[in-house]
Each structure stands twice: as C-alpha cells, then as structure tokens.
Chain A
Amino acid sequence: DGGITQSPKYLFRKEGQNVTLSCEQNLNHDAMYWYRQDPGQGLRLIYYSQIVNDFQKGDIAEGYSVSREKKESFPLTVTSAQKNPTAFYLCASNFPGQGNEQFFGPGTRLTVL
C-alpha cells in the first residue's frame, strides 16, 4: 500500500534533548512538508522540500532542522533551541504544482517534559 508513515506515534523527551521525527513516503512524491499543530492554531509550516538535497524554511523554522538525502525520507529534528516543542507534528507529501493535494501522514505527538 502506498502512503506516508510517521514514527513514532507518541514521543516523550526531556527538556534540552534533541529529538528526530521520522517521515517516509512510497508515493514517489517529489515534495515533502513538515507542519506543527497546536490547539486552536491550525497547521503551521516548519520546513518543506521540493526536491532531493534541497529544502526551504517555512513560517516557523527556528529551533528545527531537516535533511532530504533520499526522495522518500524527510526527517525533522527538534532541537533544544525550540522553546516550546510540545505539539502534534504532521508530515505531508505531493507532486509540486497547482492543483495537487498534499497527502498527510498520521502524525507524531511530541511531549517534552
């Protein structure tokens, strides 16, 4: 089955630790995205990548880093510089261009203690 997987579903970390969230897709999509969702604030774009080995900052990139070494993988690292990392993180992918909907993974809920 084609789709996007995110792991783990729930993640707990101590304050000050970096943590990496996984996102893998087998849809052969060129573009991948990371969003953060907080209660009452909808989704906000963290980083996106339109092609392998290239990525751009979204609206709230501070305290996060990404890599895009393979087409199917777009891991997100939440660094200790992110002041309020507890949130629900969603990964998406699509073929870039107008009219092409983004397909979303199931999300990872990160809680920093």
Chain B
Amino acid sequence: SQELEQSPQSLIVQEGKNLTINCTSSKTLYGLYWYKQKYGEGLIFLMMLQKGGEEKSHEKITAKLDEKKQQSSLHITASQPSHAGIYLCGALTGANNLFFGTGTRLTVIP
C-alpha cells in the first residue's frame, strides 16, 4: 500500500521567513496535489503536479515534483499570518482517488 509522509509535522516561523514542507511517497507519483486547510474547515486546492521536474507557483507559494516523481516540496516565500494552517499533500491513486499525507501544521508568528 502507498505511504505518503509529510515533514515536518508542525512548523512555527516568524512572519517574513521562508519555509519548505516536504511530501515523500513510497511509490511513484502520477499526480500530486497540494491543499491548504484552516482548522475545522474544508480543504482549499493550491496546486497539482504531474510531470517529473515540474514546478508551479501561485503568489508566494511554489511547489515542485522531483525528477523521480517520489517527492514533492512546497515552498513559501516571505510567510504571512494568512499562510497559517494545515498543508496536505495528496497522491492520485490508480482508481483516480486521492491518498493523503498526515499534514503539516504551519504557525506564522507576527
């Protein structure tokens, strides 16, 4: 069965600092989704990566999928309090479902 490990589990950064969250899969990734969740709310789609070496950016958030398609990273530049929340990576399965990692809880201190 597939395993999707996120690191770190939690992260506390000062406002303005850069940070990186990693998502490592035990199997080749055929589609990797990044979502953000505010505590007690639904998930908001950030980005989706499919090709090895692919990189996408939205505002101050950049996501990459490595060449071997087994690891993805999410990088936030100049973090703001609005970036706080839980970041979840999800891997596309053969049944076109999503298998999620355990999440990374980000706290940004003003």
A interface residues with partner B (beta carbon < 8 Å): 4, 31, 33, 35, 40-45, 48, 50, 56, 58, 88, 90, 92, 96-99, 101-107, 109
Contacts and interface: CB of A to CB of B under 8 A. Distances in A.
Contacts, number: 60
22 contacts: A33-B98, A35-B100, A40-B9, A40-B102, A42-B100, A42-B102, A43-B43, A43-B90, A43-B100, A44-B100, A48-B97, A50-B96, A58-B97, A88-B40, A98-B30, A98-B96, A101-B33, A101-B45, A104-B42, A106-B41, A107-B42, A109-B40
Interface in B36-59: 40-45, 48, 50
Contacts of B90: 43
Contacts of B44: 104
In the A-B complex, the 4 residue pairs with the smallest Cβ-Cβ separation, listed nearest first, are A104-B42, A43-B100, A104-B43, A42-B102
A104 B31 CA distance: 18
B74 interface: no
Contacts of A42: 88, 100-103
Given A40-B102, A42-B102, A105 B42 contact: yes
B92 interface: yes
The main secondary structure of chain A at its interface with chain B is: strand
Nearest to A97: B96
Contacts of B100: 35, 42-44
A94 to B, nearest CB: 9
Contacts of A101: 33, 45, 48
